[in-house]
Structure 1
């Protein structure tokens, strides 16, 4: 089962395609009279979309059940010119909404039919604070960039209260033997279950933020086995290419580089190039997505205006094969 959501601004329409045979055949399932949407939740049973205007403003979600019709679900009141950040768990029932610059965090447990405020933290209003990310109905994280360092905040009550995680100290200059002033920047905390997770920490030279900076081939990794209460010493990892690794588990990682994809089975000690990819067909930047229900399955997508190419791996990133996609090119109005 698979879905493609294709927005066409010229036609002010979003088309929904579905496949039941791994992409060999696609059918146009439905269309929405919306020029742009964000995919909020995708599952075999259906999908959840958020139509947005040119200012990324939205006031409702649209739910499409497999074999059913569209259902509109209203969001909490969003003032004009205020965008929102929305996240749903794979069950498409538990979700959170953050009103940008307002500090109000809402939660739903019924797929967005009803919402309640769980916290109104002024911390959410800080420009350096990331939107919260949840990995189950109660546990989540967010990051607050504080100068050259950052703070990781955790919640275990659905976002009602937050506490600072005790991350390990990092002496990047000493480890790399350089004197440049470095800033630490967090990647997304990846939790494999309620207790086990990995956090990547990236290095930024304030004097050299270019894509070719040699620091983009280094990052630190720290692990937790108790839901974030304790963290391992940070390990410095040398990447085979500039980029951000995606964690399948604590040992298996994949990395999309420049027209190449790499994988490791020993937490970054050794890297190998994946098989089955044609780098000459790459367009734009490759993005890796991991199936939450089966972390052996990963998808590699390429974006320019629409998805142009999709590859899938079912063995944890070692071998890949292309998946045919429907023709979703923009048509003239």
Structure 2
């Protein structure tokens, strides 16, 4: 009966090379690549919208793609976004292929395991090969479990990662029909991820810094003016409140993005930076509110 052992070993050896390909490490690698490509695709969409706005400023008033294609700004934006979407879909395709191949490989492993189990059922306890076959069975079961985990990585993708760009042309047509001023005002689920791309993050970080600086300056000036004339402090407090409103608006957008797109942040190569920035925005907004409230209380006490 030793020949069965050798047969099982030979089949297991054939499968071993493939088994090494299907690991959770490879699944993580593919998932990370998808996160990066999705971020690039979102940035591409953002760039496309900016290019569309430029085309409209150039005088293109149509909602038809053919008319916009004549504009160099629009064409550049569309091509750039389309390339980013194509790359993202290729990455998603690679993940799907990886998982499909892993499942096919696992089916071969399970077929071998089934043959081994059948052999062991009819094998006598005194068989010299039984322990070796059982050991092979145990190793194969562990390998199957590992490949199974790898085969499930497609299921770890969220909807945006898996489906973004699936209806690219429909999305383009939809954007073309939007009102010219809607791109800056929209804050729905399809727009928020754009806040997370590096270019926009830098822009809003600068804005937040400037707003906080302005709020502090207005509060300091308000107290200085209140020492001479309480009424003179009112415009400064009003200006600080207006700046705070803008600051809160930015922070609210980012905190909403954090809640709605935890997967995008988790998969980002800049995860730590994103989370640190979002926390900083929140902390600065809270501090600015306290500053205005404290300044107001101080001035009211002085007036009492």
User: Under a length normalisation based on structure 2, what TM-score does the superposition of the two structures give?
Assistant: 0.22
Structure that is richer in strand per residue? 1
Structure that is richer in helix per residue? 2
